Chains A and B, each alone.
Chain A
Amino acid sequence: MRAKTMEYFDQLIPKGMVLAKEAKEQGKPVVGYYCVFSPIELIEAAGAIPVGLCATKQEPIAEAEKILPRNLCPLVKSSFGFAISGKCPFFHFSDFVLAETTCDGKKKMYELLSEHKPMIVLDIPNSATLEDLNEHWLKQIYRAKEYFEKNLGTEISREKLREVIKVYNEERKLIMELVSLNKHHPTPITGTDLLKVLWGRSFQFNRQEFLDQVKTLITELKEMVANGQFSCSPDSPRILVTGCPTGVGQEKVMGIIQECGGAVVLQESCSGIKGFVDLVDEAKDPFLALAEKYNKIPCACVSPNKGRLSLLSKLVEDFRVDGVVDITLQACHTYNIESYSVKEHLRKNHNIPLLQIETDYSESDTEQIKLRVEAFLEMLK
């Protein structure tokens, strides 16, 4: 059974496209971003609307491959294809783009993208042990602050930023409350629906309405649990999905897991809960607190990435996970290599098996993935 409130989230992205246009017509500045490393509190504090940019579909890849190498991560190709083909309204209506040097593919792609849209690229160090990591991040936060102030003709005061941080922290708590409902067995909400809500958060233009709908969804799901209505059957193995970002439009692997009888309990990835688990410290200087929160994101682009292992440890215990599926996008070296460490970590410490699926956004490997997933679920029973 599916919660009725999900209909709102089904419409969120298509509606957002219209709202982006309206916002522009009303003279409201819009700033696009790609990644969970983007400190979007700054955008909001600058009086602009932060919006996610399109990135997770096969459709614009052919256009991107006219310029980018074919053997490149589909996320990078898709982002670029969407942007240059004019098929992403959010990109189109953005005044500028807040980007970041998370991986080599993205940072080189941004060099090409800057021909199409003004952008500020945050310099994210790929070392988690950089001696002046916090100072470095803080400098990047200030760089972004100055860029926004100059380009939007505004001032980001500490007070304003504090207010925004508070609102975003509330949102994070609410989202985590929603996700936590899936600690129940059987789960009240499917992984693909959870994705829709979490991913949709970057494409909403009315925060209060979005938050109200999340609250309604939580209430409805709690009622479902009380009435014994669930999103999967009691014998569904509980699966945690991790790895590369899996956005709306690219639910292929999660869809296959569910179709084959597994319950995707939650997603540990940047399209899942990665950005929501930690709050920004409200007691500290807001700029410093932002720097500290964002440099803690356990992404495979950072080395070493011990944070991901400890987060996974906590999640597999809290959510009573039976198996982990690691989705690796083709040519994503960091996640691909890290898959080994994650698998060994889960095997040794939790006796939980991991299935790695290497894929792209095309449908050409659906049958191969099905075979692997079916066998994995049979193995868990």
Chain B
Amino acid sequence: MTWSIGIDVGSVSAKGVIFNGEKWDYVVIPTGWMPRQAGKEVLDQLLRKADIGLDNVGIIVGTGYGRVNLDFTHKTFSEIVCHARGAHYLFPQTQGIIDIGGQDSKAIAIDSEGKVKDFILNDKCAAGTGRFLQVMAQVLGYEVSELGERCGTTEPVEIGSMCAVFAESEIIGLLAQGVSQERIVAGVLLSIARRVGTMATKLNLGPHVTFCGGVAQNQILQRFLKEQTGWEMEAPEKPQLVGALGAAIIGYELCGGGK
């Protein structure tokens, strides 16, 4: 049986998916300081999980910012096409993707076959990315993963700064004024949803949009983003795996898998 492997080395975590045309399994580990080593570790863990050797693998496809460093991949593709393929596989009716990763956020318009029609990425600053969320969580003394539960349905406070550094000062100012942490968390999430929502509506993706990337795990942000764009939005159970899954699918087709 032919297997393909997709490895997506992002700024925060390294993800891998192993795929045989029907089933797929995955591994997620922190990228840490050595993207190449993280990618290799993902590969080893995937092989162990599937209980196969490297000679059973037809192709390894790399994606994500760390892809250039992986010497064991056969091919690399940008995360944009990989996200498109992954999302199309999971939700065949999807017309667009919003992906919020550690370092960037993107919106991708795709056709009915999962091919990229257009895309847009945030400019080179942290606003609207996972990193922005991380910095704000740190100021408030929370883990990023906690942010969703921390605000519930409280009224978001207005956060005007789009620069991560200025937003940090703004939050410190709001705390000093006695604004509750919950309202600030909601404000931070809303500001990201606005930023990314505005970017995504430039491409007119909707109405069936897949929300992916690690940040998509945050339910409140997902809700805000839906309100901002007016689109239906589905997030897969493991939204950070979409890129690696797409890479594995592209690889599977390239090595003639299933045919």
Tell me the A residues contacting B by CB distance below 8 Å: 353, 358, 364-365, 367-368, 371-372, 374-376, 378-379
Shortest CB distance B10–A (Å) = 12
Whether a CB of chain A sits under 8 angstroms from the CB of B79 is yes
Asked if B118 and A375 make an inter-chain contact with CB atoms under 8 angstroms apart, the answer reads no
Rounded to whole angstroms, the CA-CA distance of A365 and B125 in the bound complex is: 10
Interface positions of B (Cβ within 8 A of A): 65, 77-81, 104, 115-119, 121, 123-124
B79 pairs with A378, CB closer than 8 A: no
Asked if A368 and B81 make an inter-chain contact with CB atoms under 8 angstroms apart, the answer reads no
Question: B117 — which chain A residues lie within 8 A by C-beta?
Answer: 353, 379
Residues of B within 8 A of A367 (CB): 65
Distance, CA A374 to CA B117, complexed state (A): 14
Q: Tell me whether chain B's interface is mostly helix, strand or loop, or mixed.
A: mixed
Distance in angstroms between the alpha carbons of A368 and B78 in the assembled complex:
11
Interface centre among B78, B81, B124 (most CB of A within 10 A): B78
Whether A375 pairs with B124 at a CB distance below 8 angstroms is no
Q: A379 CA to B77 CA in the complex, in Å?
A: 11
A379 x B116 contact (CB < 8 A) = yes
Q: Given A374-B78, A378-B81, A353–B118 Cβ distance below 8 Å? A: yes
Contact of A371 among B79, B115, B116, B118 (CB under 8 A): B79
Specify which of A358, A365, A375 is in contact with B78 (CB 8 Å cutoff).
A375
Are B116 and A378 in contact, with the CB atoms below 8 A? yes
Q: Contacts A353-B118, A378-B116, A379-B116: A371 and B78 contacting too (C-beta < 8 A)? A: yes
Instruction: Give the distance in Å from the alpha carbon of A358 to the alpha carbon of B124 in the complex.
Output: 10
Contact yes or no, A365 B80, CB < 8 A: no
Q: Taking chain A's interface residues, is the majority helix, strand, or loop, or is none over half, making it mixed?
A: helix
With A353-B118, A367-B65 as contacts: A378 and B80 at CB distance below 8 Å: yes
Given known contacts A375-B116, A375-B119, A379-B116, A364 and B124 CB-to-CB distance under 8 angstroms: yes
Give Cα A69 to B123, complex, Å. 20
Contact A371 B81 (CB under 8 A): no
Structural contact, B80 and A375, CB atoms closer than 8 A: yes
Judge whether B81 and A375 touch: CB under 8 Å.
yes
Chain A residues positioned under 8 Å from B118 (CB to CB) = 353, 379
Residue on B nearest A358 in the bound complex, by CB: B123
21 interchain pairs, CB-CB under 8 A: A358-B123, A364-B124, A365-B124, A368-B124, A371-B78, A371-B79, A371-B80, A371-B121, A372-B121, A375-B79, A375-B80, A375-B116, A375-B119, A376-B119, A378-B77, A378-B78, A378-B80, A378-B116, A379-B115, A379-B116, A379-B118
Residues of A contacting B121 in the complex (Cβ-Cβ under 8 angstroms): 368, 371-372
In chain B, what residue has the closest Cβ to A365? B124
Given A353-B118, A378-B77, 5 additional A-B pairs, CB 8 A: A367-B65, A372-B121, A375-B79, A379-B117, A379-B118
Closest A residue to B81 using CB positions: A378
Q: Closest B-chain residue to A330, C-beta based?
A: B123
Closest CB in chain A relative to B64 CB, distance in Å:
10
In the docked arrangement, what's the CA distance between A365 and B115, Å?
26
For A353, the chain B residues whose CB sits under 8 A away are: 117-118
- Residues in A with CB closer than 8 Å to B104 are 368
Q: Which residues of A contact B116 (CB under 8 A)?
A: 375, 378-379
Cα distance, A323 to B70, chains bound together (Å) = 30
Per CB-CB distance, the 4 closest pairs between chain A and chain B, nearest first, are: A375-B80, A375-B78, A374-B78, A379-B116
Most buried by B among A364, A372, A378: A378
A353–B80 CA distance with the chains assembled, in angstroms: 16
A379 to B121, CA, bound (A): 15
